[in-house]
Amino acid sequence: MRILVTGANGQIGSELVEVLRERHGTGQVVGLDLNPPPTATDQPSRAPSSNAPFEVADVRNREALADVLDRHEVGSIYHLASLLSATGEQHPDRAWDVNMSGLKTILDLARSRPVEKVFWPSSIAVFGPTTPREDTPQNTVLDPTTMYGVTKRSGELLCRYYHRRYDLDVRSLRYPGLLSYKTAPGGGTTDYAIDMLTQAAAGRDYTCFLKPDTRLPMMYMPDAIQGTLALMDADADALSVRDSYNTGGLSFSPEELAATIQARVPSFSCSYAPDERQHIAENWPSSVNDDAARTDWGWAPEYDLEATTADMLDHLREGTPEHGDVAEGEHEGATA
The CA distance from 155 to 144, in Å, is: 13
Beta bridge partners of 216: 252
Catalytic residues: 148
CB atoms within 10 A of CB 155: 27
DSSP state letter for 24: H
Report the SS3 class of residue 207: strand
Q: Are 268 and 261 in contact (CB under 8 A)?
A: yes
Q: Which domains does the chain have, with CATH numbers?
A: 2-176+220-246 (3.40.50.720), 182-218+250-286+303-317 (3.90.25)
CA–CA dist 210, 117 (Å, integer): 38
- The set of residues, in sequence order, having a beta carbon less than 8 Å from that of 145 and lying 6+ positions away, is 128, 129, 280, 283
DSSP secondary structure of 53-112: -EEE--TT-HHHHHHHHHHTTEEEEEE-----HHHHHHSHHHHHIIIIIHHHHHHHHHHT
Q: Would you give per-residue pLDDT tens digits along the chain (336 residues)?
A: 999 999 999 989 999 999 999 999 999 999 999 999 987 445 555 555 568 999 999 999 999 999 999 999 999 999 999 987 778 889 999 999 999 999 999 999 999 999 999 999 999 999 999 999 999 999 999 999 999 999 999 999 999 999 999 999 999 999 999 999 987 666 678 889 999 999 999 999 999 999 999 999 999 999 999 999 999 999 999 999 999 999 998 999 999 999 999 999 999 999 999 999 999 899 999 999 999 999 999 999 999 999 999 999 999 998 644 443 333 333 444 456
The span from the CA of 67 to the CA of 306, in Å, is 46
